[in-house]
Protein backbone atom coordinates (compact mmCIF):
# COMPACT_ATOMS: atom_id res chain seq x y z
CA UNK A 1 0.00 0.00 0.00
CA UNK A 2 1.46 3.35 -1.04
CA UNK A 3 1.15 6.40 1.20
CA UNK A 4 -0.52 9.43 -0.32
CA UNK A 5 0.73 12.97 0.28
CA UNK A 6 -1.54 13.50 3.30
CA UNK A 7 -0.43 10.28 4.96
CA UNK A 8 3.22 11.14 4.38
CA UNK A 9 2.71 14.57 5.96
CA UNK A 10 0.91 12.98 8.90
CA UNK A 11 3.74 10.51 9.30
CA UNK A 12 6.36 13.25 9.30
CA UNK A 13 4.30 15.18 11.85
CA UNK A 14 3.96 12.11 14.09
CA UNK A 15 7.68 11.35 13.99
CA UNK A 16 8.59 14.96 14.79
CA UNK A 17 6.03 15.06 17.59
CA UNK A 18 7.41 11.91 19.18
CA UNK A 19 10.96 13.22 18.98
CA UNK A 20 9.89 16.48 20.58
CA UNK A 21 8.00 14.62 23.31
CA UNK A 22 11.28 13.00 24.30
CA UNK A 23 13.65 15.89 23.84
CA UNK A 24 11.91 19.13 24.89
CA UNK A 25 13.22 20.37 28.19
CA UNK A 26 15.21 17.24 29.02
CA UNK A 27 18.82 17.98 29.97
CA UNK A 28 21.66 15.56 30.40
CA UNK A 29 22.82 14.90 33.94
CA UNK A 30 26.29 13.59 34.65
CA UNK A 31 25.24 12.28 38.09
CA UNK A 32 22.25 10.21 36.93
CA UNK A 33 22.80 6.83 35.25
CA UNK A 34 21.04 6.40 31.90
CA UNK A 35 20.16 3.42 29.74
CA UNK A 36 18.90 2.45 26.29
CA UNK A 37 16.87 -0.71 25.57
CA UNK A 38 15.76 -2.55 22.45
CA UNK A 39 12.63 -4.68 22.85
CA UNK A 40 11.35 -7.19 20.29
CA UNK A 41 8.11 -9.10 20.82
CA UNK A 42 6.93 -11.64 18.23
CA UNK A 43 4.81 -14.77 17.87
CA UNK A 44 7.59 -16.09 15.62
CA UNK A 45 9.25 -17.23 18.88
CA UNK A 46 6.43 -19.76 19.34
CA UNK A 47 5.83 -20.62 15.66
CA UNK A 48 2.54 -18.71 15.23
CA UNK A 49 1.57 -15.82 12.98
CA UNK A 50 -1.83 -14.38 13.86
CA UNK A 51 -3.46 -12.19 16.49
CA UNK A 52 -0.87 -9.99 18.17
CA UNK A 53 1.89 -10.65 15.62
CA UNK A 54 4.82 -8.46 16.65
CA UNK A 55 6.04 -5.41 18.49
CA UNK A 56 9.32 -3.53 18.53
CA UNK A 57 10.37 -0.66 20.73
CA UNK A 58 13.33 1.41 21.82
CA UNK A 59 13.48 2.89 25.31
CA UNK A 60 15.58 5.73 26.73
CA UNK A 61 15.61 6.18 30.48
CA UNK A 62 17.44 7.50 33.51
CA UNK A 63 17.50 6.86 37.23
CA UNK A 64 17.59 6.43 40.11
CA UNK A 65 17.29 9.98 41.42
CA UNK A 66 15.40 11.52 44.34
CA UNK A 67 13.01 13.97 42.65
CA UNK A 68 11.53 14.74 39.25
CA UNK A 69 12.64 18.10 37.90
CA UNK A 70 13.39 19.89 34.63
CA UNK A 71 16.78 18.17 34.45
CA UNK A 72 15.25 14.72 34.08
CA UNK A 73 11.81 15.44 32.54
CA UNK A 74 10.64 17.46 29.55
CA UNK A 75 9.30 20.83 30.77
CA UNK A 76 5.68 20.10 29.80
CA UNK A 77 5.69 16.67 31.48
CA UNK A 78 7.21 18.07 34.68
CA UNK A 79 4.54 20.81 34.75
CA UNK A 80 1.74 18.24 34.41
CA UNK A 81 3.07 15.81 37.02
CA UNK A 82 4.78 17.98 39.64
CA UNK A 83 1.79 17.91 42.03
CA UNK A 84 0.75 14.30 41.42
CA UNK A 85 1.32 11.44 43.86
CA UNK A 86 4.15 10.02 41.75
CA UNK A 87 6.14 13.20 42.41
CA UNK A 88 5.14 13.99 45.98
CA UNK A 89 5.51 10.66 47.84
CA UNK A 90 8.28 10.84 50.44
CA UNK A 91 11.32 8.58 50.81
CA UNK A 92 11.22 7.24 47.25
CA UNK A 93 13.76 6.71 44.52
CA UNK A 94 12.60 7.76 41.07
CA UNK A 95 13.24 7.11 37.41
CA UNK A 96 11.80 7.89 33.99
CA UNK A 97 11.62 5.95 30.72
CA UNK A 98 10.56 7.05 27.22
CA UNK A 99 9.58 4.22 24.90
CA UNK A 100 8.88 4.52 21.16
CA UNK A 101 7.19 1.39 19.84
CA UNK A 102 5.25 -0.19 16.99
CA UNK A 103 2.75 -3.03 17.40
CA UNK A 104 1.19 -5.13 14.63
CA UNK A 105 -1.82 -7.46 14.67
CA UNK A 106 -3.53 -9.56 11.98
CA UNK A 107 -6.46 -11.99 11.80
CA UNK A 108 -5.70 -15.71 11.84
CA UNK A 109 -6.40 -16.07 8.10
CA UNK A 110 -3.77 -13.84 6.48
CA UNK A 111 -4.22 -15.42 3.03
CA UNK A 112 -7.63 -13.90 2.34
CA UNK A 113 -7.85 -10.60 0.44
CA UNK A 114 -11.39 -10.10 1.76
CA UNK A 115 -12.38 -8.83 5.19
CA UNK A 116 -12.24 -11.68 7.71
CA UNK A 117 -15.51 -10.84 9.39
CA UNK A 118 -15.24 -13.29 12.28
CA UNK A 119 -11.78 -12.22 13.47
CA UNK A 120 -9.84 -9.18 14.69
CA UNK A 121 -8.97 -6.45 12.17
CA UNK A 122 -5.58 -5.74 10.66
CA UNK A 123 -4.13 -2.95 12.77
CA UNK A 124 -0.90 -1.11 13.45
CA UNK A 125 0.01 1.08 16.42
CA UNK A 126 2.87 3.58 16.57
CA UNK A 127 3.27 5.45 19.85
CA UNK A 128 5.36 7.04 22.57
CA UNK A 129 4.98 5.86 26.16
CA UNK A 130 6.39 8.03 28.92
CA UNK A 131 6.55 6.33 32.33
CA UNK A 132 7.45 7.85 35.69
CA UNK A 133 8.59 5.46 38.43
CA UNK A 134 8.67 5.97 42.21
CA UNK A 135 9.76 3.12 44.48
CA UNK A 136 11.28 1.85 47.69
CA UNK A 137 12.17 -1.74 48.63
CA UNK A 138 8.52 -2.70 49.15
CA UNK A 139 6.31 -0.67 46.79
CA UNK A 140 6.81 0.57 43.24
CA UNK A 141 4.42 2.92 41.41
CA UNK A 142 4.34 3.47 37.63
CA UNK A 143 2.45 6.32 35.93
CA UNK A 144 2.36 6.24 32.12
CA UNK A 145 1.08 8.39 29.27
CA UNK A 146 0.66 6.99 25.75
CA UNK A 147 0.46 9.24 22.67
CA UNK A 148 0.49 8.07 19.05
CA UNK A 149 -1.67 6.79 16.21
CA UNK A 150 -3.24 3.75 14.60
CA UNK A 151 -3.81 3.16 10.91
CA UNK A 152 -1.75 3.16 7.70
CA UNK A 153 0.32 6.04 9.06
CA UNK A 154 2.03 3.54 11.41
CA UNK A 155 3.60 1.69 8.44
CA UNK A 156 2.61 -1.63 10.05
CA UNK A 157 1.88 -3.21 6.66
CA UNK A 158 5.30 -2.29 5.29
CA UNK A 159 7.06 -3.41 8.47
CA UNK A 160 5.36 -6.80 8.44
CA UNK A 161 5.98 -7.28 4.72
CA UNK A 162 9.69 -6.66 5.24
CA UNK A 163 9.87 -9.01 8.24
CA UNK A 164 8.04 -11.78 6.39
CA UNK A 165 10.29 -11.36 3.36
CA UNK A 166 13.37 -11.75 5.57
CA UNK A 167 11.91 -14.78 7.35
CA UNK A 168 10.46 -16.35 4.17
CA UNK A 169 6.93 -16.33 5.63
CA UNK A 170 3.54 -16.01 3.96
CA UNK A 171 2.76 -12.39 3.02
CA UNK A 172 -0.53 -11.14 4.56
CA UNK A 173 -3.08 -10.27 1.87
CA UNK A 174 -5.70 -8.19 3.73
CA UNK A 175 -3.94 -5.04 4.87
CA UNK A 176 -6.20 -2.85 2.71
CA UNK A 177 -8.90 -3.54 5.32
CA UNK A 178 -6.88 -2.27 8.30
CA UNK A 179 -8.43 0.25 10.67
CA UNK A 180 -8.03 3.87 9.59
CA UNK A 181 -5.74 6.63 10.82
CA UNK A 182 -6.63 7.98 14.27
CA UNK A 183 -4.63 9.59 17.10
CA UNK A 184 -4.58 7.60 20.34
CA UNK A 185 -3.92 8.29 24.00
CA UNK A 186 -4.01 6.43 27.28
CA UNK A 187 -3.23 7.31 30.90
CA UNK A 188 -2.22 4.32 33.02
CA UNK A 189 -1.28 3.81 36.67
CA UNK A 190 0.19 0.61 38.10
CA UNK A 191 1.49 -0.52 41.46
CA UNK A 192 3.65 -3.48 42.47
CA UNK A 193 4.26 -4.36 46.11
CA UNK A 194 6.25 -7.04 47.89
CA UNK A 195 4.02 -9.57 49.66
CA UNK A 196 6.97 -11.72 50.77
CA UNK A 197 10.75 -11.74 50.39
CA UNK A 198 13.10 -14.31 51.92
CA UNK A 199 16.17 -13.29 53.91
CA UNK A 200 18.70 -15.47 52.08
CA UNK A 201 21.91 -13.58 51.40
CA UNK A 202 22.85 -15.22 48.09
CA UNK A 203 19.55 -16.22 46.42
CA UNK A 204 16.17 -14.84 47.39
CA UNK A 205 12.55 -15.72 46.75
CA UNK A 206 9.81 -13.09 46.65
CA UNK A 207 6.13 -12.77 45.81
CA UNK A 208 4.90 -9.58 44.15
CA UNK A 209 1.32 -8.32 43.95
CA UNK A 210 0.32 -6.24 40.91
CA UNK A 211 -2.65 -4.06 40.13
CA UNK A 212 -3.51 -1.05 37.99
CA UNK A 213 -5.71 0.43 35.32
CA UNK A 214 -5.89 2.94 32.51
CA UNK A 215 -8.25 5.04 30.44
CA UNK A 216 -8.09 6.25 26.84
CA UNK A 217 -9.32 5.59 23.33
CA UNK A 218 -6.40 3.19 22.86
CA UNK A 219 -7.71 1.02 25.70
CA UNK A 220 -9.42 1.34 29.07
CA UNK A 221 -8.89 -1.45 31.57
CA UNK A 222 -8.27 -2.61 35.10
CA UNK A 223 -6.00 -5.55 36.00
CA UNK A 224 -4.54 -7.39 38.99
CA UNK A 225 -2.02 -10.19 39.29
CA UNK A 226 0.70 -11.96 41.21
CA UNK A 227 4.26 -13.02 40.38
CA UNK A 228 6.86 -15.31 41.94
CA UNK A 229 10.58 -14.48 41.50
CA UNK A 230 13.78 -16.31 42.45
CA UNK A 231 17.24 -14.80 42.07
CA UNK A 232 19.76 -12.39 43.55
CA UNK A 233 19.36 -8.88 45.02
CA UNK A 234 15.63 -8.85 44.26
CA UNK A 235 15.03 -5.51 45.99
CA UNK A 236 17.30 -3.83 43.41
CA UNK A 237 15.34 -5.19 40.41
CA UNK A 238 11.89 -4.42 41.79
CA UNK A 239 11.37 -0.89 40.50
CA UNK A 240 10.14 -1.53 36.93
CA UNK A 241 8.84 -5.09 37.20
CA UNK A 242 5.79 -5.83 35.07
CA UNK A 243 4.26 -8.82 33.29
CA UNK A 244 3.80 -6.70 30.13
CA UNK A 245 7.12 -7.20 28.35
CA UNK A 246 6.51 -4.58 25.67
CA UNK A 247 5.43 -1.88 28.12
CA UNK A 248 8.22 -1.79 30.66
CA UNK A 249 11.78 -0.72 31.08
CA UNK A 250 14.18 -3.61 31.59
CA UNK A 251 13.78 -4.58 35.28
CA UNK A 252 17.54 -4.29 35.76
CA UNK A 253 17.79 -0.87 34.12
CA UNK A 254 17.74 1.01 37.44
CA UNK A 255 19.61 -1.68 39.34
CA UNK A 256 22.96 -0.88 40.92
CA UNK A 257 23.90 -4.52 41.55
CA UNK A 258 24.84 -7.38 39.26
CA UNK A 259 21.99 -9.82 39.54
CA UNK A 260 19.59 -12.22 37.86
CA UNK A 261 16.19 -13.75 38.50
CA UNK A 262 13.61 -16.14 37.09
CA UNK A 263 9.91 -15.34 37.30
CA UNK A 264 6.45 -16.68 36.64
CA UNK A 265 3.21 -14.75 37.05
CA UNK A 266 -0.45 -14.41 36.12
CA UNK A 267 -3.04 -11.68 36.04
CA UNK A 268 -6.75 -11.16 35.46
CA UNK A 269 -8.40 -8.08 34.07
CA UNK A 270 -11.40 -6.36 32.55
CA UNK A 271 -11.04 -4.39 29.31
CA UNK A 272 -13.76 -1.80 28.71
CA UNK A 273 -12.73 -0.61 25.25
CA UNK A 274 -9.93 -1.34 22.78
CA UNK A 275 -9.43 0.44 19.46
CA UNK A 276 -7.37 -2.49 18.16
CA UNK A 277 -10.41 -4.78 18.51
CA UNK A 278 -13.41 -2.47 18.12
CA UNK A 279 -11.96 -0.36 15.30
CA UNK A 280 -11.96 3.40 14.82
CA UNK A 281 -13.79 5.61 17.28
CA UNK A 282 -15.34 8.20 14.96
CA UNK A 283 -15.62 6.40 11.62
CA UNK A 284 -16.55 3.00 10.27
CA UNK A 285 -13.87 0.32 10.09
CA UNK A 286 -13.50 -3.43 10.44
CA UNK A 287 -14.12 -4.46 14.04
CA UNK A 288 -14.75 -7.49 16.24
CA UNK A 289 -16.81 -8.05 19.37
CA UNK A 290 -14.74 -7.23 22.42
CA UNK A 291 -14.38 -9.90 25.09
CA UNK A 292 -14.10 -7.86 28.24
CA UNK A 293 -12.51 -10.44 30.55
CA UNK A 294 -8.79 -11.09 30.08
CA UNK A 295 -6.18 -13.35 31.64
CA UNK A 296 -2.45 -13.76 31.11
CA UNK A 297 0.29 -16.15 32.18
CA UNK A 298 3.95 -15.17 31.71
CA UNK A 299 7.36 -16.61 32.61
CA UNK A 300 10.88 -15.50 31.90
CA UNK A 301 14.46 -14.81 32.91
CA UNK A 302 16.28 -11.53 33.59
CA UNK A 303 20.04 -11.11 33.99
CA UNK A 304 22.91 -8.69 33.48
CA UNK A 305 26.64 -8.86 32.73
CA UNK A 306 28.46 -5.61 33.40
CA UNK A 307 26.54 -2.77 31.75
CA UNK A 308 24.50 -5.15 29.57
CA UNK A 309 21.22 -6.65 30.75
CA UNK A 310 18.66 -8.84 29.02
CA UNK A 311 15.14 -10.20 29.42
CA UNK A 312 13.52 -13.21 27.77
CA UNK A 313 9.82 -13.79 28.36
CA UNK A 314 7.04 -16.08 27.10
CA UNK A 315 3.40 -15.00 27.49
CA UNK A 316 0.03 -16.59 26.87
CA UNK A 317 -2.89 -14.16 26.76
CA UNK A 318 -6.61 -14.71 26.22
CA UNK A 319 -7.90 -13.19 22.98
CA UNK A 320 -9.84 -9.95 23.39
CA UNK A 321 -12.55 -11.11 21.00
CA UNK A 322 -15.50 -13.47 21.34
CA UNK A 323 -14.88 -15.17 17.99
CA UNK A 324 -12.35 -17.66 19.39
CA UNK A 325 -11.45 -19.41 22.64
CA UNK A 326 -7.82 -19.82 21.58
CA UNK A 327 -4.99 -17.95 23.24
CA UNK A 328 -2.45 -15.46 21.91
CA UNK A 329 1.04 -16.80 22.62
CA UNK A 330 4.27 -14.90 21.93
CA UNK A 331 7.80 -14.37 23.11
CA UNK A 332 9.76 -11.23 23.91
CA UNK A 333 13.43 -10.40 24.22
CA UNK A 334 15.08 -7.13 25.24
CA UNK A 335 18.64 -5.92 25.57
CA UNK A 336 19.69 -2.88 27.60
CA UNK A 337 22.92 -0.94 27.94
CA UNK A 338 23.58 1.33 30.89
CA UNK A 339 25.86 4.33 30.65
| Whether pLDDT at 247 is above 60 | no
Q: Please determine, for residue 1, whether its predicted confidence score (pLDDT) is greater than 60.
A: no
Cβ contacts of residue 118 below 8 Å, gap of 6+? Answer: 288, 323
Concatenate the DSSP letters of all residues of 206-229 into one string.
EEEEEEEEEESSSEEEEEEEEEEE
**Residues 111-145: tens digit of each pLDDT:** 878 887 778 899 999 999 999 999 998 999 999 99
What pLDDT is attached to residue 274? 96
Cβ atoms of 141 and 89 within 8 Å: the answer is yes
The predicted-structure confidence for 262-292, as pLDDT tens digits, reads as follows: 999 999 999 999 999 999 998 999 998 999 9
Query: How far is it, in rounded angstroms, from Cα 266 to Cα 297?
Result: 4
Nearest to 303 by CA among 250, 264, 240: 250
Residue 123's nearest CA partner among 321, 292, 286, 315 is 286
Q: Is the per-residue pLDDT at 309 higher than 90?
A: no
Pairwise CA distance, residues 227 & 297, whole Å? 10
Q: Are 303 and 219 in contact (CB under 8 A)?
A: no
- Residue that wins the pLDDT comparison between 272 and 3: 272
* DSSP-derived secondary structure letter, 31: T
pLDDT for residue 323: 66
The pLDDT assigned to 16 comes to 47
Mean pLDDT of the chain: 84
Q: Is the pLDDT score of 246 beyond 80?
A: no
Kindly report, residue by residue over 30-77, the tens digit of the pLDDT: 567 888 989 887 655 444 544 445 678 899 999 899 999 989 999 999
Residue 326 has pLDDT above 80, yes or no: no
Task: In whole angstroms, give the CA distance from residue 29 to residue 18.
Answer: 22
Residues 6+ apart with CB under 8 A from 30: none
pLDDT tens track for 145-177? 999 999 999 999 888 888 767 766 677 778 998
Is residue 13 very low, low, confident or very high in pLDDT (cuts 50, 70, 90)? very low
Residue 11 has pLDDT above 70, yes or no: no
Amino acid sequence: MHLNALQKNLLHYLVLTLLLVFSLGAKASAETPEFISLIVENDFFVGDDSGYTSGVGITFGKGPFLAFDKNNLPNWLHWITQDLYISTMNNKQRGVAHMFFQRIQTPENIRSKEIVQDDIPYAGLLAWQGTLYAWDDQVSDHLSLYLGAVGPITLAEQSQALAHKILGSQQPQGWEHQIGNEPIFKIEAQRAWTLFRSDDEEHQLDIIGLYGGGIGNLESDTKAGIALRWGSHLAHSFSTFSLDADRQANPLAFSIEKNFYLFIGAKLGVVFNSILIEGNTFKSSHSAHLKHSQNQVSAGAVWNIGKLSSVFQLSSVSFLTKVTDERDTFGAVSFSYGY
